Amino acid sequence: MKQKPYLKHFILLSVLLFTFFLLNISLGSVSIPFKDIFTTLMGNTDVKDSWQTIVLDFRLPKAITAIFVGSGLSICGLLMQTLFRNPLAGPFVLGISSGASLGVALLILGSSVFGGFFLTNSISNWSLAIAASLGAFLVLFAVIMAANQLRNTMSILIVGLMFGSLTGAVIAVLAYFSEATQIQQYLFWSFGSLGNLSWSEMRVFGSIYLVGMFACLSVIKPLNSLLLGENYAKSLGINIEKSRIIVLVITSLLTGVITAFSGPIAFIGLAVPHLAKMLFTTSNHKILIPASAIIGGMVLLICDSIAQLPTSEFTIPINAITSLFGAPIVIWLLLRKKKITI
Amino acid sequence: MTKNKNNILSTENLAIGYAQKKQQKVIASGINFAIKKGTLNAVIGKNGIGKSTLLRTLSKVQKPLEGTLFINKKNSNAYQHLELAKTISLVLTERVPESQLTVFELIALGRQPYTNWIDSLSKKDLQKIHWAITATNLETLQNNRCSELSDGQMQRVLIARALSQDTEIIVLDEPTAHLDMHQTIVIFELLKKLTKTTKKTIIISTHEINLATKICDELIVLSENKIYTGTTAALIQQNAFENLFASKIVKFDTALQQFVIHSQTF
């Protein structure tokens, strides 16, 4: 498709992303002068040791996680919206995040219910990510199967909601039979948190994230043709089944790993693609994929900066902030005179 | 008749319909006809007789229940996705989902079979797109959003998209549905002109029978018992139009060479 000059937009957004990244790192319960933060990030070791630890081992991984989570979820939302040709689709609305939660719940809570089947102590980063991705994959697969039967886009959303409640119910049953400590562990996970990730966990997270992001590039062309509907896409030589499986795998991997490491985070996947579509007024995925990624990363950095309540020692669960931010945006999108489009 | 050198598309004992689990719903069977290169062909018949199903089968959107379809003398099953996309382009009745695509962008999507993995347009692609835009008179609209267009304009955009796909065959399912009389004739004239100037083969389905009998080179008439093909004159001789609607209200008038209304109420 023809390229409109979007370079300015992208430069501006990248600068903003970088600014919010630095802002996010410089805010926190311990106030560290900006100059010292910057020199620490540049690899200078003249700064106080405790400050270095705070910046390099806590704030930096957290800010990077925010970018991973925000951009990953936004891209998943964009892929869902085009695949289902439904502007209200997103990983949370379609129950995919809930599927990932179910995977995590089975791992954390299931170990006490099913006894020695899962070994509690051996919950590694990888197993959490794999369980969540499998859960996400199962729900997404079920939604796609249902979508093949239902042409009505509204019904697909209802089906997604039903899968969400279904997994919620299973988790509730599991929780009922679990021990208090495990329920607590699960509950804290479900509040969502961008922090607490060590660098070794970041490596697992980062590698899966990069694989997902690169795989996205391969579906730009099929996604663009899907804007015309499946029959037209097919007539343009696109292998629909193959593209659908790639999107399925990318979305469940990204949603799975993000949900595993930072808890179920709502609304980002639904709201951010629409912000990108509004800002760039295009449906071309060559523009929308990077745009959603940058805006998503930025939005989550802002949400996280708010969540850690600058200068106080408290941190609000990130999930609460994204809902506070996302829900009004979605309502506003619906109430706007202009139609929302894919 | 399938052996003629000029035939671009031909069928052999084609049966069309839908396969539902174990049962097959056959809409028409024993279909044998051939379509000549560079002609404008119309599939006509009453509602529900299977015009769309036939076109969907000819363009491989759906599978035939039986029989074989030959495209350029080659069994259509032997075509790869991409090869087919470079041979047949489509204009369907289904509405294009609402998006922010501009007219230019939508027409450019027709170049997908030729573009690289990231969908960049080459000089040749741009040339084809501009040609398609000019051929359909869309120059002034090319930067508009598709969601702002009227039905007639949108139909021209979809035809332009099919043209930019640069295929030998273009299949259009009811291209003039929802259009007013003027726009209908604009579309028919455009299609006729394209077959003459570009040697493309165009197959449409339509309810504009009186227009189709005048403008199209050949007709494919679907009736309850039989499928007739040929020029309007040949079909009149075969009485192909007599039982098209099996109705007293609309009848074919051989003298006028068109369908006329015989209503008691007005």
Contact B117 A229 (CB under 8 A): no
Give the closest residue to B54 by CA, choosing from B79, B75, B35: B35
Task: Give the mean model confidence (pLDDT) for residues B62-72.
Answer: 92
pLDDT recorded at residue A254: 93
**Cα separation of B221 and B209, whole Å?**
10
pLDDT recorded at residue A74: 97
Band of pLDDT at residue A4, cut at 50, 70 and 90: low
**Which of A14-18, A127-131, B63-67 has the least mean pLDDT?**
A127-131
Residue B59: closest CA among chain A residues belongs to which residue? A235
Does the pLDDT value for residue A112 go beyond 80? no
Looking at the complex, does the CB of residue A23 fall below 8 Å from at least one CB of chain B? no
Contact A224 B115 (CB under 8 A): no
Reported as a single tens digit per residue, the pLDDT across B13-32 is: 999 998 877 788 888 888 99
pLDDT recorded at residue A302: 94
In Å, how far from its chain's centre is CA A258? 6
Residues of A in Cβ contact (< 8 Å) with B143: none
Does the pLDDT value for residue B254 go beyond 90? no
Does the pLDDT value for residue A108 go beyond 70? yes
Looking at the complex, does the CB of residue A240 fall below 8 Å from at least one CB of chain B? no
Bigger pLDDT: A121 vs B225: B225
Give the closest residue to B112 by CA, choosing from A175, A67, A223: A223
Contact B100 A277 (CB under 8 A): yes
**Which of A120-134, A220-234, B221-235 has the least mean pLDDT?**
A120-134
Give the nearest partner residue to A236 out of B97, B109, B147, using CB atoms. Answer: B109
**Cα separation of A6 and A1, whole Å?**
13
Residue A231: closest CA among chain B residues belongs to which residue? B61
Contact B109 A227 (CB under 8 A): yes
The answer to whether A46 touches A248, Cβ cutoff 8 Å, is no
Reported as a single tens digit per residue, the pLDDT across A52-100 is: 888 888 899 999 999 999 999 999 999 999 998 888 899 988 888 889 9
Residues of A in Cβ contact (< 8 Å) with B109: 1, 224-225, 227-228, 232, 236
Task: Give the mean model confidence (pLDDT) for residues A178-207.
Answer: 86
Contact A286 B104 (CB under 8 A): no
Choosing among A6, A149, A236, which should be mutated to test the B contact, i.e. which has the most B CBs within 10 A?
A236
Residues of A in Cβ contact (< 8 Å) with B100: 277, 281-283, 341
How far, in Å, are A143, A183, B151, B237, B256 from residue B247 at the CA level?
Answer: 47, 73, 31, 20, 18
Does the pLDDT value for residue B91 go beyond 70? yes
ipTM value for the complex: 0.92
pLDDT recorded at residue A297: 97
Band of pLDDT at residue A1, cut at 50, 70 and 90: very low
Band of pLDDT at residue A180, cut at 50, 70 and 90: confident
Contact B108 A2 (CB under 8 A): yes
**Which of A92-96, A119-123, A251-255 has the least mean pLDDT?**
A119-123
Does the pLDDT value for residue A16 go beyond 70? yes
How far, in Å, are A68, A152, A319, A342 from residue A328 at the CA level?
Answer: 23, 25, 14, 19
pLDDT recorded at residue B217: 95
- The overall average pLDDT reported for chain A is 87
Contact B112 A238 (CB under 8 A): yes
Distance from the A148 Cα atom to the nearest Cα atom in chain B, whole angstroms: 15
Distance from the B88 Cα atom to the nearest Cα atom in chain A, whole angstroms: 8
Interior angle at CA B102, CA B101 and CA B105, nearest 5: 80
What are the φ and ψ backbone dihedral angles of B261, each rounded to 5 degrees?
-95, 130
Contact B94 A229 (CB under 8 A): yes
| 3-state DSSP percent of chain B in helix, strand and coil, to 5 | 35, 25, 40
B150 Cβ partners below 8 Å, 6+ apart? none
The answer to whether A167 touches A102, Cβ cutoff 8 Å, is yes
Looking at the complex, does the CB of residue A121 fall below 8 Å from at least one CB of chain B? no
**Cα separation of A136 and A79, whole Å?**
15
Distance from the A130 Cα atom to the nearest Cα atom in chain B, whole angstroms: 30
pLDDT recorded at residue A120: 47
Task: Give the mean model confidence (pLDDT) for residues A282-291.
Answer: 94
Give the nearest partner residue to B85 out of A221, A227, A236, using CB atoms. Answer: A236
Does the pLDDT value for residue A236 go beyond 60? yes
**Cα separation of B263 and B250, whole Å?**
8
pLDDT recorded at residue A209: 95
Distance from the B26 Cα atom to the nearest Cα atom in chain A, whole angstroms: 21
How far, in Å, are B60, B127, B201 from residue B56 at the CA level?
Answer: 6, 29, 16
Residues of B in Cβ contact (< 8 Å) with A84: none
Contact B90 A232 (CB under 8 A): yes
**Which of A154-158, A225-229, A263-267, B52-56 has the least mean pLDDT?**
A154-158
Strand (E) or helix (H) holding B70: strand B66-71
Residues of A in Cβ contact (< 8 Å) with B99: 227, 283, 341-342
Task: Give the mean model confidence (pLDDT) for residues A171-184.
Answer: 88
Looking at the complex, does the CB of residue A5 fall below 8 Å from at least one CB of chain B? no
- The overall average pLDDT reported for chain B is 91
Band of pLDDT at residue A221, cut at 50, 70 and 90: very high
Looking at the complex, does the CB of residue A148 fall below 8 Å from at least one CB of chain B? no
Does the pLDDT value for residue B251 go beyond 90? no
**Cα separation of A204 and A196, whole Å?**
14
Distance from the A339 Cα atom to the nearest Cα atom in chain B, whole angstroms: 9
Residues of B in Cβ contact (< 8 Å) with A229: 92, 94, 96-97
pLDDT recorded at residue A335: 87
Does the pLDDT value for residue B58 go beyond 90? yes
Reported as a single tens digit per residue, the pLDDT across B171-219 is: 999 999 888 999 899 999 999 999 999 999 999 999 999 999 999 999 9
pLDDT recorded at residue B108: 96
Contact B98 A339 (CB under 8 A): yes
pTM comes to: 0.91
